Structures are given as C-alpha cells and as structure tokens.
Structure 1
Amino acid sequence: MKDTLVSGEPKATIPSARGSRPADGAAEAARRRKKLITLTRPWLLLAPSLVVLAGLLLWPLIQVGKLSLEDYKVKFGGGESTFTGLDHYQDLLSSDLLWKTVLPNTVFFAFACVGLTVALGTAVALLLNRLGPTWKLICSVSILAAWAMPAVTGTYVWIWLFQPQDGMVSQLADSLGLIDAETTNWFTERLPFYVIATINVVHHGFPFVAITVLAGLLTIPKELYEAGEIDGANAWQRFWKITVPTIKPVFLVVTILSTIWDFKVFTQVFLMPGGSGDNPDVYNLGVYSYIEAFAKNDYGAGAAAAVLLTLLLLVITIVYIRTLFRQGEEDL
C-alpha cells in the first residue's frame, strides 16, 4: 500500500526500461521494413523494362567493347578472334586521319548543325506563336512533313538539287555566273560537301525544335510581354529578357538532344557521293567506324571507333543530365 498510495492518492506506475525494449525494437524493425520496401519497390517495378533494355542496349555495347580488343576474322560457319588488347585503340589514337579529318568533321559539323537547327527552329516557333489558330495549324503540319520525311529520302532530294551539271542549284548558280556547272562538283571537296550535309540535317531537324519551343512559348503569360512593352523594351530585348529566361529548360533540352543526334549522324553523310568511302576527306566518326568494319573487314578497328563515339556521346549525356539537375535545383 505504501508503494501505491502517497497522501491518499494513487501513484502513477512508471514502465520499466526493460519492458519498453521489445516495443522499441518492433517499431525499429517496422521502420526498416518500410524503408526497404520504399527503396526496392520502384526497382522491382522497373525490373522487366531494365532487363529488356540490358538485352537490347547493354549487351551489344559489351560485345562491341569486347570486339574492339580483338582481331576478328569472319570465316565460313562462324568467326575467329585473336585477343590484341588495346592495339586498335593505339592505332586509332595515333592516326592522322582521326585527328586531322574525322574528329574535326564530326565536331564542327555537329556544332554547326546544332546552332543552325536551334536558331531556325526558334525563329519558326516565334513566327508560329504570332499566327492565328488556322494558319498555325497549317504551318505546323507543313513543317512537320520535313521531320516525318525519312532521312534517306531527304538526302537523295538534296543530292538531286546539287547534282553536278543538271542539278537545280548547279544550274541556278551557273546562270548567275557563280560556277561552271559542267566542271563543278559540290561533293568532291570537304567544305561544300558538309555545307550540303548541314543544310540536309538542319532541314530535317528544325521542326522538332520549332514545335518544342512553341509549346514552351505557349506557357509564358502575356502579361510579361505587356509589362515589357510598357517599360519600353523592344522585341529583341523582350526575347532575351523574358522569353529566354522563362523557357530556358526547353532551350537546354532541344540543344542537348540535337547535339547528341548530330554527333552520330550517319545516313546524311554516307549516302552522299563520296561519303561511302570514296573520299576519306569527308569521313565523320560514324562513317569511319562503318568503313573500317565492313568495307575493310577490320572489325576490331571499327569497333574501337564506335566505342570512341559512344564515349563522346556518354560525356555529352552526362553533361546534359547534370545541367538539367542543376537547372531544377535553381528553379526550386
């Protein structure tokens, strides 16, 4: 009674530390299970897709990397490979053709295409944004026709336009006294070849940029432009002070995606006269890899060039993802 009553009032019972341990342990175990489920459930849901992607993408990459370390000979009923280590990479990185022709062609061509594609696409998006609903629909469908056209078809159209002697552009330039259509071949020299290839790639790629940027423009409140006009900003100032900062993530996405696509252009270069191996001065990395592997039957050297191109694209992709994350943190 002394233990339970103090001055005639019941005494509160204090649970012992020994009795509370099992309850605390059960709660901690439940928290751990919940955390484990939270961490593993997304991966379990993604597992089927990841397995398919690994089979379609990762396994071929592994095989290309393995092939770049071998000297592979195709024989009837299979093939024979001899391990050569990094010999193909050593030969590739010590090649004057790579440093003086292939890489400059790849890099400068890609950046020229990206800059012109984004600039033209943005200009078209600004124009579409000022049109009425009917004309906006008509123009959008018209430019999307260029994007829907297969790269092979588009390339042959541009080849036909610049065909020596009887091409429309050749005939027009000849009538203006700029060239002699009988002796001028646009495809034999490096600069005019890549000018035509750049026009081809930009023509095929700008609709994607235009439609994507247009979607971003439609999210900008009109009040921002009205306020800019009241403050005396002209059209150029409104573009740089309002449009660009507001839809900066959109410009970032189309720029990086265009860079990735244009670094690995193959069809538009390979199908043009001389691009399939007759003229080494117009090789880019994609074409160089194909020529080494399938035209010269040096599969190890072609695989090494493909790995180099993949690493370049991987670096660009990492920069793209980090820039997007950084942009997201700044927006927050």
Structure 2
Amino acid sequence: MAVQLDDAADQTAPRTGKGGAPPARRGSGRRPGRGTPAASARRTAATPARRTPYLLLLPALLATAVFLGWPMVRNLLLSFQNLNMKELIQHLTDWRGTGNYQEVLGSEQFWRVTSRTVVFTAVNVVLIMVIGVLIGLLLARLGTTMRLVLSAALVLAWAMPTIAATTVFQWLFDARYGVVNWVLDRLGRHSMAHYDWVGSQLSTFFVITVLIVWQSLPFVALNLYAATTTIPKELYEAARMDGAGTWKVFTSVTFPFLKPFFLATTFLEVIWVFKAFPQIFAINQGGPDRLTETLPIYAFTEGVGNLHFGMGAAISLLTIAVLLAMTAYYLRLTFKQEQQEENGL
C-alpha cells in the first residue's frame, strides 16, 4: 500500500529546480524568461534610456564640430599652401605641401620661441599655484567679514576684462606717469623715476608675469577654499591632538585630500598661460625686438603681421602640437602617480 502511495505522489507532484522553480525544458536552447513578453518590453524600454545621454550631448558635439572642428580643418589646409597677399587678392591656391612646416622647424627662431614659451609657462604656473594656495588657505582661516571682503576683491579682479586689466597695468608701469615709478621714487629709488619697464626683455616679462598671475589667482584661491570646506574637521582635530604643526597638517591632511584639485587646477593653468595672447600683445606686441614673443604671438606676427598666412597657420598647428605634448606628459605623470598610490595601498 505504501509503495502504491509513493508511486502516485511521484506521478502527481511537479518536478522543481533550484529554489522551487520548475526546471527548464530540455532542448529548448533558451534561458528562462529571456523570450517572454515582459523581458522584450524591458529591453525595448531600456534602449531609449541608453540613447538619452548621447542625444543630450549631440548639440554640444555639433557646436564643437562647427565652431572648432571646421576652422581647424581649414587651418590645416591653409598650412599646406603658400598664401600671401598676392594669392589672397587674386584668389589663387598655391599648394606648397610640407614646405611651411619644413621652413618653420628648420628655423632657429621657432625653437627659441618654443623654449621661451615653455619657461614662461612654467614660471607663471608655479607662482600662480603657490600664491593661490596660500590665499585659499588664508580664506579658510579668516573670519566671516574678512573672508567676504577678500572674496569680493578676488571676484572683482577675476571679473575685469583682460584688455581693461592690461590697460590698467600699462598705466601703472608707465615710464613717465606710472604709479609704480612714482612709489619707487618716493621710497628713495630715484633711478626708477622714469624707468622704462617695457624697454628690456626681463622687465617686460616681469610686467606680463605680474599681470597674468594677478588675473589667475582668484580662480585658484576661490576653488581651493571651496575644496577645503569639504574636508572633515575631525581630521584636523585628530592631527592637532597628535601634535602636528601647521606644515604637518597641510602635508598630511589638506594636501592628500585636495590632491585631485591640485592636479586638475595645474593642468588648466598650464593651458591658460601657454596660450596667453592679449596680455603679451597689448603690453608690447612681443617686443622689444621680438624678445618677449611666445608661440601665439609668433604665429600672429608671421601670419597676420608679415602677411604669410600659410606660415602662420603652420606655426599655430605646431603650437597646438607642443601644448598637446606638454599636457600628455603631465597626464602621464599624473596617471603613473595614481597607479603607484593604488599599488601601495
């Protein structure tokens, strides 16, 4: 009797797989649920969701292609041409191949200007980052009133148009009526009463460097202060309890926590200083005797000033190549350092 009940139970009870679910049919070749209407509906609904980010990026990509990509293509084509005033007026196309690039790369002036631009960029970026970090840390320590006053001053300096700021600095360092010469004369430096700040290479670069550093400090200082507000105060309290001084707190708490900010800001400042044009051109147009020309000024002088438009286009593209090489080297060092830190952890 017991044997008959067991046989009946085996015939009536359904077979189950893992978790009590009925097993899949043999030979079906499909996973359970993949061919059901509900799964098809989910896939259909997920497809537009995946496309949404690309559709949102499409206007920006189109604008970039129109306003940046197309001029770059036209500039590339122009760099292979011998285009002077004669060809421009007569609408002639004189293809020169790589002749413009060979002439530029074989010129000592190009390599002299390139090395000058790299040194100029390095000096400015170091000054901007050091002074900007100090001002940012000062903002974090000041009271509310003084912080608002200093922040307002930084914002006003940042909001001033580049040409307007350059004009103010031209007046400040003017040889006859400049405030700087007047102050130095009052302080006993009578030889500086009528000093020509744009009469030599070093003094001209000094004026340009002060101008560029002054314009760049607000960006670094305000961003650093905003970043310091995200650091937990408990970390500073723990460091103080361990007997850490100001420098030790900065190196062990502030700098490691804000390291991504330092890397990103330095990267942006390298690009901004390297391609600086209006400050240098408005101060002395790359003078005296073209001794303060950087690559952007050099490209403009050869292309527009000397009416060698094909040559200027080639120099501008080489300028972009040098900037890309510098940024690629910097990013490589950054990624290498991050990998070392991850491996160390």
Residues 278, 299 of structure 1: CA spacing in aligned structure 2 closer, same or farther, 3 A cutoff?
A: farther
Give the gaps of 5 or more residues in structure 1. 1-5
1:301 aligns with 2:302: no
**Structure 2 residue 241 is the aligned partner of structure 1 residue 240:** no
| Equivalent residue number for residue 43 of structure 1 | 54
Distance 1:320 1:187, change over 3 A: same
What are the within-5 Å matches in structure 2 for residues 68-87 of structure 1? 68-74=79-85, 79-87=91-99
Quick one: structure 1 residues 243 and 282, their matched pair in 2 at CA, closer, same or farther if it must change by over 3 Å? same
1:194 aligned residue: 205
Query: Residue 181 and residue 281 in structure 1: after superposition, are their counterparts in 2 closer, same or farther (change >3 A)?
Result: same
Secondary structure in 1 aligned to 2:93? strand
Matched, 1:89 2:90: no
Unaligned runs of 5+ in 2: 1-5, 16-22
Q: Against the structure 1 CA distance between its residues 233 and 76, is the aligned structure 2 distance closer, same or farther, given a 3 Å change threshold?
A: closer
Residue-by-residue CA offset, 1:94-123 (whole Å, 9 max, x unaligned)? 1111122x1122111111111111111111
Partner of 1:169: 180
Distance 2:192 2:102 in 1: 45
Aligned to 1:116: 127
SS, match of residue 176 in structure 2: coil
Q: Does 2:290 match 1:290?
A: no
8 Å Cα contact 1:67/1:303 also seen in 2: yes
**TM-score, normalised relative to structure 2:** 0.82
CA distance in 1, matches of 2:44, 2:89: 54
Larger Rg: 2
Partner of 2:94, secondary structure, is strand
Q: What letter matches 2:320 in structure 1?
A: T
Identity %: 34
Tell me, in whole angstroms, the C-alpha distance in 2 between the residues paired with 1:86 and 1:76.
20
Q: Which moved more, 1:32-41 or 1:160-169?
A: 32-41
Give me the whole-angstrom Cα distance separating, in 1, the residues matched to 2:239 and 2:245. Answer: 8
The answer to whether the aligner puts 1:214 opposite 2:214 as a matched pair is no
Which secondary structure does the structure 2 equivalent of 1:123 belong to? helix
Q: Distance in 2 between matches of 1:163 and 1:197?
A: 13
The normalised TM-score by structure 1 is 0.85
Asked if the contact 1:114/1:259 (under 8 Å) is kept, the reply is yes
- How large is the Cα RMSD of the aligned pairs? 3.2
Q: In structure 2, how many angstroms separate the alpha carbons of the residues matched to 1:285 and 1:252?
A: 24
The one of 321, 324, 328 aligned to 1:314 = 324
1:289/1:305 contact within 8 Å kept: yes
For 1:9-62, what per-residue CA distance to the aligned partner results, in whole angstroms no more than 9, with x for missing partners? 4286886544445978848x9698788767644323322221111101111111
Cα distance between partner residues in 2 of 1:38 and 1:314: 35
Distance across 1 between alignment mates of 2:152 and 2:332: 34
Distance 2:68 2:263 in 1: 26
Residues 49 and 274 (structure 1 numbering): CA distance in 2 closer, same or farther, change over 3 Å?
closer
Contact 1:260 1:316 in 2 (8 A): no
- Per-residue deviation, residues 263-315 of structure 1 (Å, max 9, x unmatched): 0000110001242x663111100111111111111111111111112123333
- In 2, the alpha carbon distance for the partners of 1:169 and 1:226 equals 45
Corresponding residue of 2:168: 157
Indicate conservation of the 8 Å contact 2:201/2:288, yes or no.
no
The answer on whether the counterparts of 1:73 and 1:80 sit within 8 Å (CA) in structure 2 is no
Amino acid at match of 1:83: W
Q: Distance in 1 between matches of 2:24 and 2:249?
A: 70
Report the alpha carbon displacement of residue 322 of structure 1 after superposing the two structures with TM: 6.2
- Stretch moving more, 209-218 or 277-286: 277-286
Q: Secondary structure at the match of 2:191?
A: coil
